[in-house]
Structure 1
């Protein structure tokens, strides 16, 4: 068999001003051919699982591209076309396809990035089996359902089962190839926008929905995925979905999807997150930190890198300084201008400069940069290797990085937006985060598996950035109404 295996990952926040050119997909753009293979082999990605499964089958493997970018604004049309064209052109003559996709990509020329790609691949290979792994936050569409034979999503958030979802999808595809199963897909999508902070699979309604999905798999469904959707995409339906792969019985799959989706809809208010006023959140963190000891995490989910945040909204840091907090470590803050200034000054120099609030990242109203004075304590290339559990072993790139020590705070500034999903974010610039009194991180969930174990407490802070949990800050123009919670009388 000749099998096409590729990766195209991007979660698009259509309200984000962060640009997404081709160069954003990797250190300097996507990896192609053998480089795409090497970038994934041995890693914890779905594409790595596809490669392993295909190699066990003795298949001829084609890996045209591996392209993954941090969440940001709509993907540039040229970038989207380049990645898709690489995949479609490589599909010619292949016997099967396995794609590692996010599921919530919006491009300048496509509101349904994955659906349009799958439609093109299906047109090229009308009879070949197509298996897809999706992120738990995928915005599923009818095009995606119509043009794939197998769809499996992550079942964890924070995501730690990317490889496992790929292995599951690959297993079902090869079961189809060898006649051991006949995958049949059905899906259901209630008109429900979920808050990302309510899509954690560790507790609450989302945990119960995933448990129902696992129960349906034990009862005979080949795969059941609950996809919370990504609501900060202004498309027709960035809503929660249930996708079921049955074995030859589409009607049974449809009943399972409907049952789980109804369970979700009946407790829809549990998918809604209400933010506390920022001053109250920071004060709560200050109270937790009075006894010293381990750091207190202040999570700035309103400017969350992995939801398309600018990483330069200074609201939480400013409020912390206003309330007299010290022993602060914060970052990574994305400000290429500040990095250039600090790098030019060099380690040991005393510098006064403006930091942050430069990329129109505040969804409420623009604010001026924060003027800071301090000593440059580190300048690095911003690279480190992730220790896990997310993306274990992969090399991470923050762009050039610098640290400004103001006395009350050590501020990590980088050229790129970057999720603090590893202690290496700070350790690579000479900061031991365990020694901080307060860690202000621009994160919702990905930081938690690593930073919660070293902390004495955690407070969620909504900075009113472009990833805020306040839907009222955003003007939806394409969204199909009515939809809950924007329309409390929405029905399904």
Structure 2
């Protein structure tokens, strides 16, 4: 058999002011997507769904082509040119002929003109090859429209957050696809989205309220009750009509009733716990003051309002400014995105003392936030190329790049400044620059949950800090215009009636 395998991933924060062009679609040192053999080499041996697809096809002795690997850090709207280019690469490969398609997608990509970019991609594939089976691996934060579901044959989603089961998710989707190709199963997709915006800090299947919902879904799949069962927390920072928590079941045609019962059960559990998916916000100053009382390090301070893993620019400096104002000692902070500051510091050179404005270059007009640089005085401690390979459990083996990176020593606080934004889900963002995290009392990073993959094992304490930004958990700040309404918790009583 001949397969088409492709990877196209982006989580779009529609409130982010940073557009996402084609050049942004590679998290490594190369600008833009990879194609053909280069795409295969970049994916194989990594914790990705595409790697699982590649391994399975090779074990079967079949053929495959990989027209595209395109993976961008979450940010604002994907440009029309970027989407058209990537979609054309995949559709052209499918049009050349294949027995099946396996796609490693995110599920929350919004492109100019397409609120459900993945649904548009699948519709184009279906138009090019009406009968071809399509298996799709999706992120836990996918949002669902009918176009995405109606044009797929199999859908499987990550069961973890942080996402450490990406390879296994690809394997789950591929196994069902292969069973269908062999005539051993007839997949039927059942799905539902609920009128609720969950807070990303309350979504993780590692803890309640999601924990036993996800465990029930995983058990149903494992025990053969259904072919696949996935619960999606959804990406709430996308102002589109189909945002919300979703459940997708792949049932065998011979056991559709069992799939419908499971769908009702999982949706009922989630809706009954809707209030538990709301995150209570502690004022930033209080969180930092509380952290100052902790004596055993390293204490991980997590600024979740400006996280590029959810579309933030990572140049919002308010939390670092407050950390310095309150006098926390032994801090390493970053990485902060500021290419201009990086250039200035490199020009000064290692060992030189410099005073400059860092960050605050990005206005966030959707939330009426103005960028405010932070003036820092320090010594250039280290300059690197920013390249590192992930050693932790999330996207293990992937080669990532911060671009040129500088460590600035500000009276003992190490500030890491980079050319390319990257959520710190792996300690490599610091260790590649020779920073010994065990010797730091505080580690200040911008993240939500993914940091737990690499940093939770070394943390004595974790303190969540509600800094400002387009990733805030305070939904009252966001001018939602395109959500289906009513929706919980924005409209509590009318959402109950709609449900």
> Aligning the two structures, in what range does the TM-score lie when normalised by the shorter sequence?
over 0.9
**Could you tell me which residue of structure 2 aligns to residue 228 of structure 1?**
233
How much does 1:408 deviate?
Answer: 3.7
Which residue of structure 2 lines up, in the alignment, with residue 157 of structure 1?
161
Quote the offset at 1:367 in angstroms: 4.6
Provide Cα deviations, 1:168-226, integer angstroms capped at 9, x if missing partner. 11010000000111111100111011111111111111112101212322251111000
Q: Give deviations 1:365-424, integer Å, cap 9, x for gaps.
A: 325211010000111111111112111111111011001111141100001111112222
Q: Does 1:319 align with 2:322?
A: yes
Aligned to 1:22: 22
Q: Hey, what does 2:347 align to over in structure 1?
A: 344
Asked if the contact 1:96/1:129 (under 8 Å) is kept, the reply is yes
Runs of at least 5 residues in structure 2 that lack an aligned partner in the other structure = none
d(CA) in 2 for partners of 1:87, 1:477: 32
2:206 corresponds to: 202
The equivalent of 1:98 in structure 2 is 102
Q: Which residue of 1 aligns with 2:272?
A: 266
Q: Aligned residue for 1:356?
A: 359
> Corresponding residue for 2:260?
254
Instruction: Look up the match of 1:9.
Output: 9
TM-score of the pair, normalised by structure 1: 0.97
> How do 1:299-448 residues align onto structure 2 when only pairs under 5 Å count?
299-361=302-364, 363=367, 365-448=369-452
Once residues 475 and 200 of structure 2 are traced to their aligned partners in structure 1, the CA distance between those partners, rounded to angstroms, is: 12
Is 1:277 matched up with 2:277? no
Deviates more, 1:19-28 or 1:213-222: 213-222
CA distance in 2, matches of 1:331, 1:280: 21
* TM-align CA RMSD: 1.2
Q: Aligned partners of 2:389, 2:397: CA distance in 1, in Å?
A: 6
In 2: Cα distance, 1:459 partner to 1:85 partner: 44
Q: Give the deviation of 1:360 after TM superposition.
A: 1.4
The structure 1 residue matched to 2:69, chosen from 49, 66, 69, is 66
Provide the secondary structure at the position in 1 that maps to 2:241.
coil
CA displacement 1:266-309 (0-9 Å, x = unmatched): 11011111210111111111111xx2x42111100111121011
- Structure 2 counterpart SS, 1:482: coil
Gap change, CA 1:129 and 1:68, over 3 Å in 2: same
| 1:120-155 CA-partner distances (Å, limit 9, x unpaired) | 111111111110000000001111110001000010
- After superposition, what is the alpha-carbon deviation per residue over 1:213-249, rounded to whole angstroms, capped at 9, x for unaligned? 1232225111100001000001002100000000114
Residue 300 and residue 438 in structure 1: after superposition, are their counterparts in 2 closer, same or farther (change >3 A)? same
Q: Distance in 1 between matches of 2:376 and 2:77?
A: 32
Contact 1:299 1:442 in 2 (8 A): yes
Other-structure match for 2:79: 76
Structure 2: distance between partners of 1:111 and 1:237 = 9
Is the counterpart of residue 298 in structure 1 residue 275 in structure 2?
no
Farther off after superposition, 305-314 or 50-59: 50-59
Indicate the SS of the match to 2:113. Answer: coil
**Correspondence for 1:113:** 117
In the alignment, structure 1 residue 237 sits paired with structure 2 residue 242:
yes
1:191·1:237 contact (CA, 8 Å) conserved in 2? no
Q: Which of the residues 292, 299, 312 maps onto 1:286?
A: 292
CA offset digits 1:3-39 (Å, max 9, x no partner) = 1100000000001122211111113110101111111
| 1:255 CA displacement | 2.7
How many Å separate the matches in 2 of 1:99 and 1:417? 25
Note if contact 1:187-1:258 (Cα within 8 Å) is conserved in structure 2: no
Match of 2:487 in 1: 483
Once residues 124 and 474 of structure 1 are traced to their aligned partners in structure 2, the CA distance between those partners, rounded to angstroms, is 39
Q: Secondary structure at the match of 1:56?
A: helix
SS in 1 for 2:135: strand
Deviating more after overlay: 469-478 vs 18-27:
18-27
Report the secondary structure of 2:175's partner residue: helix
CA distance in 2, matches of 1:36, 1:458: 37
Which runs of structure 1 show a deviation greater than 6 angstroms over 4 or more consecutive aligned residues?
none
Unaligned runs of 5+ in 1: none
Q: Are residue 453 (structure 1) and residue 440 (structure 2) matched?
A: no
Q: TM-score, normalised by structure 2?
A: 0.96
Q: Is the 8 A contact 1:310 1:361 kept in 2?
A: no
Distance 1:241 1:175 in 2: 25
Counterparts of residues 27-38 of structure 1 (less than 5 Å) = 27-38=30-41
